[in-house]
Structure 1
Amino acid sequence: MRHGDEIETPRGPARVDLDLPGTAPATLLVLGHGAGGSVDAPDLVALRDAAVGAGVAVARVTQPYRVAGRRAPAPAAHLDEAWVAVVAELRARCRSASTLVVGGRSSGARVACRTAGTLRASGVVALAFPLHPPGRPERSRAAELRTGLPTLVVNGDRDPFGVPPGEPGIRVEVRPGERHDLRVDPAGTAALVLHWLRERGWAG
Structure 2
Amino acid sequence: MTASHPDAWAAVDRYLAETLVGSDPALDATLASQDRAHLRPIEVAPVAGKLLHLLVRISRARRVLEIGTLAGYSAIWMARALPADGRLISIEAEPANAALARENVDAAGVGERVDIRIGRAADVLPGLADEAPFDLVFIDADKESNTVYLDWAARLSQPGAVIVVDNIGRSGEVANADTDDPQIQGVRGGLAMLGEDPRFDATGLQTVGVKGWDGLAIAVRV
**TM-score of the superposition, structure 2-length normalised?**
0.39
The structure number with the bigger radius of gyration is 2
As a proportion of its length, which structure holds more helix?
2
